[in-house]
Amino acid sequence: MTDAIGSTYLERLAARTAVARTVLCLGIDPDPALLPAGFRADLGGVERFVELLLDAALPHVAAVKPNLAFFEAFGADGLAALERLRLRIPSDVPVVVDAKRGDIGSTAARQAVALYDRLGADAITVSPYLGSEAIAPLLDRPERFAYVLCRTSNPGAGELQDLQIVADLESEWPSEPLYVRVARRVSLWSERYGTAGLVVGATAPEEMAVLRSVAPELAFLVPGIGAQGGDLDATLSSGPATAGAAGGRPGGGLLVNISRGVAGAAKAAADPAAAVATAAAGWAARLPVLQSLP
C-alpha cells in the first residue's frame, strides 16, 4: 500500500504534493458530538461522515492525518472502522496516523507493527521524552516516517518545551530552550535513519523560524492553522526544508494540517459533501506549493 510511488515516505509525499499542488494535510478528528445533522452521534455516524469527508476532500490534499484517539474511544470496533477507512484512501496519498507514540524499545517495536504493518500508516507522530532508544523501532523503517513532537500548538506547550537547557560542551550546543534541543537531537536521528521530522505548531511562528535555522533539513508537520489561529504566512515562509532529502522537493517536506476548517464546513450545509469539497479546495489554494518543481 505504501510502495506505489517511490521507496521512501519523503519521495511519496513529494510526488503527491506535486500532483495536488498543495501542502494541505486533511486532519480527521471526528467528534461524535460535532457531526452534521443527519449523522448519528455514534461510531456508525462517525464512519459515514469520515467517508464523506474523504471522498469530498481527497482530490485537494497532499496527505491525510487521522487522529487515532477518536477511533480508539470506540474500542475494537473503532479501530476496525479506521482500518476500513484507511483502505478507502488511495495508495498515492500518504497517511499520517496521529498516535503520539514512544515507549521502551520492546513496546515501541510492537507499536511499529500495529501502526505501520497492521494499520498501514505511512507516517506517525511520536514523543521524544524517552529518548532515541525508545523510538528507534519507529524510526528504523526506511519506507516509513516519524514526526517527533517538538514545539506543539497547544496553549500550554511552553510549560515544558520552553524550559532552558544547559549548554552541551561536548556537542558545542549553547544553553537553549528544550524544543530547540529536541530539534538538534532529531537532526542527529535523521542523519542515522533518514525517517524523522518535527511537529511544529503554527501558533509559535518565531519558534518555527528558530527551528528551521537549527534544522534546515527536517520535514515539518504543522498543526495550529485555522481554528487555533496560527500564522499562515510564517508557516509558508519557515515551514519548507531547505536541505537534506526534503529540501528541494515539491513542498520541501512541509505538511500543514487543517481539521475543523474542512470538516466543520459540513456542519450547517445543505449539501455537506459540496461544502467540504469547497472548503478543502479553498485551503489547498491558501497552502500552495511555493517551491519550484524539479
Residue 292 lies in a domain: no
pLDDT tens digits along 2-40: 444 458 999 999 999 999 999 999 999 999 999 999 999
Candidate list 100, 184, 260, 286, residue with the active-site label: 100
pLDDT of residue 5: 46
In a domain, 243, yes or no: yes
- List, in sequence order, every beta strand (DSSP E) within 43-122: 63-66, 96-101
**Is residue 2 situated within a structural domain?**
no
Alpha-carbon span 286 to 275, nearest angstrom: 17
The model's pLDDT over 187-243, given as tens digits with 9 standing for 90+, comes to 999 999 999 999 999 999 999 999 999 999 999 999 999 778 899 999 999 999 999
Q: What is the CATH number of the domain that holds 192?
A: 3.20.20.70
Phi and psi, residue 38, nearest 5°: 95, -5
Q: Give the count of domains, the chain.
A: 1
In which domain, by residue range, is 82 found?
9-286
| Segments of the chain assigned E as strands | 24-28, 63-66, 96-101, 123-126, 145-151, 164-165, 176-177, 196-200, 220-222, 255-258
Provide mean pLDDT across the span 250-265.
96
CA distances from 207 to 26, 51, 235, 270 (A): 24, 36, 11, 41
Residue 4 lies in a domain: no
Residue 201 forms part of a structural domain: yes
Q: Which amino acid is at 66?
A: P
Give the gyration radius of the chain's Cα atoms. Answer: 18
Torsion of CA 254, 200, 61, 79, to 10 degrees: 130
Residue pLDDT, tens place only, 95-144: 999 999 988 889 999 999 999 999 999 999 999 999 998 899 999 999 99
Q: What is the pLDDT of residue 6?
A: 57
Asked if the structure places residue 28 within a domain, the reply is yes
pTM, two decimals, is 0.95
Cβ-based neighbours of 60, under 8 Å, separated by 6 or more: 20, 22, 24, 277, 280, 281, 283, 284
Q: Does 205 map to a domain?
A: yes
| Domain presence at residue 3 | no
Q: Is 267 a catalytic residue?
A: no
Q: Which helix (H) or strand (E) holds 169?
A: none
